[in-house]
Amino acid sequence: MKNIFKEYVDACMLEQELEERIKKIEEKTTVSDVVSGSSQTYPYLERAIYISEEKIRKDDREFEWEKLRRQKDNVRRIKKRCEEVMDTAPLRIQRIIQYKYIDNLTWQQVAKHFGNTSAESLKKEFQRFLKNK
């Protein structure tokens, strides 16, 4: 059960990475430029020529988008499941989860946030919560 909170942190980070990958695919779809050239017949007047090339084939792009969207949907399901568990936890446990798993603090550092509480007692309190879930 406690791995669910580690998964939450990873899911949040992976969701951001997937968003960045999706943006990169959108940016790579076409390359375009304007060059100068002349007509092939007399009078050979210089004119601007617009060129465009698709860097990623449409099928490849759609396949990659679909794969990333499936991954993103899976990440969102994991995040939702974690958030549901966190939302049902008492506020004290929510704070422990925040400090220990999201902020990645040691048990001693977590205990400092709670003031007059030992790291071992917080750890035991958290373990009891997980056992009851």
- Residue 36 located in a structural domain: no
- Residue 61 located in a structural domain: yes
- Residue 82 located in a structural domain: yes
- Residue 50 located in a structural domain: no
Q: What is the pLDDT of residues 10-29, one digit of tens each?
A: 888 899 999 898 888 777 65
Q: Which helix (H) or strand (E) holds 9?
A: helix 3-27
- Residue 81 located in a structural domain: yes
CA–CA gap between residue 45 and residue 47 (Å, rounded): 6
56 and 28 in contact (C-beta within 8 Å)?
yes
- Residue 80 located in a structural domain: yes
- Residue 41 located in a structural domain: no
How many domains, the chain?
1
Question: Domain span at residue 75?
Answer: 3-28+57-132
Range list of β-strands (E), the chain: 30-38, 46-54
- Residue 24 located in a structural domain: yes
Q: What is the pLDDT of residues 37-59, one digit of tens each?
A: 777 777 777 777 766 655 556 67
Q: Which helix (H) or strand (E) holds 44?
A: none
In this predicted model, which residue has the larger pLDDT, 27 or 92? 92
CA–CA gap between residue 45 and residue 105 (Å, rounded): 70
Q: Which helix (H) or strand (E) holds 121?
A: helix 119-132
